[in-house]
Amino acid sequence: MALVSLRPVIDAAARYGYGQGAFNVNAVAQAKAAIEVHEMFRSPAILQGADLANGFMGGCTDFVHATLEDKKRGAKRIADAVKKYGENASIPVVLHLDHGKDFDSCKAAIDGGYTSVMIDGSSLPFDENVELTREVVRYAHAEGVSVEGELGVLAGVEDHVFAAGSTYTNPLRAVEFFKKTGVDALAISYGTMHGASKGKDVKLCLQIPAAIRECMDHEGIWGGLVSHGSSTVPAYIVEEINALGGAIKGAHGIPMEELKAAIRCGINKINVDTDIRLAVTRNMKELFRDEEALRRSGSVGEIYRLLEADKDKFDPRLFLPPIMDTVMTGEVLDQDTAKITDCIERGVKEVVGTLIVQFGSFGKAPLVQCRTLEEMKEFYQKNER
As annotated, the active-site residues are 98
CA distance 218 to 240: 48
CA distance 222 to 340: 43
Residue type, 327: V
Instruction: Collapse the DSSP code of 14 into the 3-class scheme (helix H, G, I; strand E, B; otherwise coil) and give the result.
Output: helix
In contact, 32 and 361? CB cutoff 8 Å: no
Contacts of 213 (CB under 8 A, 6+ apart): 225, 265, 266
With 0-12 CB in 10 A as exposed, 13-18 as middle and 19+ as buried, what is 309? exposed
CA quadruple 223, 229, 235, 237: dihedral sign: positive
Instruction: Collapse the DSSP code of 364 into the 3-class scheme (helix H, G, I; strand E, B; otherwise coil) and give the result.
Output: coil
Question: What DSSP character marks residue 241?
Answer: H
DSSP class per residue in 17-85: T--EEEEE--SHHHHHHHHHHHHHTT--EEEEEEHHHHHHHTT-SSGGG--HHHHHHHHHHHHHHHHHH
Helix H or strand E segment including 140: helix 126-141
With 0-12 CB in 10 A as exposed, 13-18 as middle and 19+ as buried, what is 383? exposed
CA distance 14 to 341: 35
